[in-house]
Amino acid sequence: MSEPILPANFPATPSISRRFRLQWEEAQQCHVLLYPEGMVKLNGSAGEILLCCDGATCVDGIVEKLEAKFQATGLRADIEGLLAHAFGQKWIV
């Protein structure tokens, strides 16, 4: 068994923190997280994963959704890695 990627206190159905706003930026051609006087630019996959954090979908559901959308398998480790990072940054709760 490998080490679990997500921390024990990771939320069952993650959602974007109300301290951030996720939106598409035409000028940047990417999704961004906005916060007081600042902005985090997200790469393509980070944007797709955070879009799935709707407060209703569990991690298994997010993996399923993205693997279906991109017709791929084996995405779980990458997705969980990004979710763990986002949780550490308090982007998602």
Partner 1 sequence: MDRLMGPAVPSPFWLLAELTYQCPLHCAFCYNPINYDSVRNELTTGEWVDVLRQARALGAVQLGFSGGEPLLRDDLEELVREARRLGFYSNLITSGVGLTEPRIAALKEAGLDHIQLSFQDSTRELNDFLSSTKTFELKRKVAKLIKQYDYPMVMNCVLHRFNLPHVGAIIDMALALEAEYLELANTQYYGWAMKNRAQLMPTLAQVRTAEAVVADYRARIGDRCKLLFVVPDYFEDRPKACMSGWGAVFLGVAPDGVALPCHNARDLPGLDLPNVREMPLAEIWRDSPAFNAYRGDDWMQEPCRSCDEKARDLGGCRCQAFMLAGDAAATDPVCAKSPRRGAVDQVIAFAARPRAPKTIEQPIVFRSNANSRSLA
Nearer to partner 1, 69 or 90 (CB): 90
Q: By CB under 8 A, tell whether 34 contacts partner 1.
A: yes
Nearer to partner 1, 38 or 74 (CB): 38
Q: Name the minimum Å distance from CB 43 to partner 1.
A: 17
Phi, psi of 6 (to 5 degrees): -85, 140
Specify which residues 52 forms β-bridges with. none
Residues 38-77 close enough to bind partner 1 by CB under 8 A: 38-39
Helix (H) or strand (E) holding 88: helix 76-88
Cα separation, 93 vs 75, whole angstroms: 22
Cα separation, 90 vs 15, whole angstroms: 10
Nearer to partner 1, 13 or 23 (CB): 23
Residues that bind partner 1 (CB under 8 A): 18-19, 21, 23, 25-28, 32, 34-39
